[in-house]
A = this chain, B = another copy of it.
Amino acid sequence: MYIGRVAFSGPDGVEPRIVVAENTAGPWLDLRAAERLRLERRGAAVSAARRIALALVPGSTAAALEGGVAFFEAAHAALAAGDEEVTVAGSPTFLAPLDPTAYRDFMAFEDHFSFGYRWRGLPVPEVLYEFPVSYMGSVQGIIGPEEEVPWPHFCEHMDFELELGIVIGRSGRDIRPQDAHHYIAGFTILNDFSARDIQLKEMAAGLGPSKGKHFATAIGPWIAAAGQVTADNLRMRARINGEIWCDSSSSEIMWPVSEIVAWASASEHLAAGTLLGTGTANRGCGVELGRRLAPGDLVELDIEGLGVLRNRMGRPREGWTPVRRQRKDTDKNTLS
């Protein structure tokens, strides 16, 4: 099963609708309409069927996943019925398949992360071999397939990152690696766009990347349900303006998906609808290749079984940046 979201333009503006399909070529079924139909056939009045279907299948995928098994039952029933009257017609515009509750990105590919430190002239920290290290990203920065990537005013060195996205389908805490598969709804392609210049400045402070990442993270074009793909051996490629820059594989991962999920939930709450990134695949970004993105570039990420996530870079714009402050007392604050 594949789960996506398409744009529907109605009297209240453009709204997302959750759609499901057996194959990415379609047909895609409008899940709320399918559930409404199923309820009507089981005796519900039209208005009640609409009300219940809306509660079970909201526009938010995260809210839908929070509904638990009931949501997946509706999805499977829709595919089993396969009603033509709820098929999405024409060429729908796919939106980000998930509006994540939280977005958290790991560093699980050793060749990538060790390159990153060597590139900056730093030793590779021991902690990266002790547990999978992560940072929280911004859910407000999530964009979907074909959306233009806003180019922040403080960035001159733009890059992409080819990653596997893990969609959490069930809330948990202290999940063991051997149970992790019960908590994974599926997988999607993730492009963690990176403003390298400001990211490097920020990381010098030790708090991690922030402005260097928040402006945009692309996901999509849909979610492949967990049973659909085996995450541990997927070919992962990146094409820029049609040219292959990277040909990698998820099989090179050092921290497996099960341990990423387990550690993300260790002594903290992992919510349904959370998006976890594996971190960049080996050779899966421009800095590893000595290349950078330019305004207008077309970036395509292609992961076996997950489709192609395509985004075009926007153009730089104007914006405010703070005025530098003076150190209170240089001798006191800097180590000699």
Contacts and interface: CB of A to CB of B under 8 A. Distances in A.
Contacts of A131: 211, 321-322
A210 B134 contact: yes
A102 B320 contact: no
Of residues A101, A203, A210, A327, which shows the largest number of chain B Cβ atoms within 10 Å of its Cβ? Answer: A210
A18 B17 CA distance: 31
A136 interface: yes
Nearest to A334: B123
Interface residues of A, number: 75
Contacts of A152: 266-268
A191 B155 CA distance: 33
Interface string A96-137: 000001101001001100100110011111111111111111
A228 interface: no
A80 interface: no
A59 to B, nearest CB: 14
A132 B322 contact: yes
A182 interface: no
A254 B205 contact: no
A201 interface: yes
B322 A207 contact: no
Interface string A253-265: 0110001001100
Given A127-B201, A129-B324, A102 B140 contact: yes
Contacts of A111: 328
Interface of A: 101-102, 104, 107, 110-111, 114, 117-118, 121-141, 150, 152-154, 174, 176-177, 201-211, 214-215, 254-255, 259, 262-263, 266-271, 317, 319-322, 324-328, 332-335
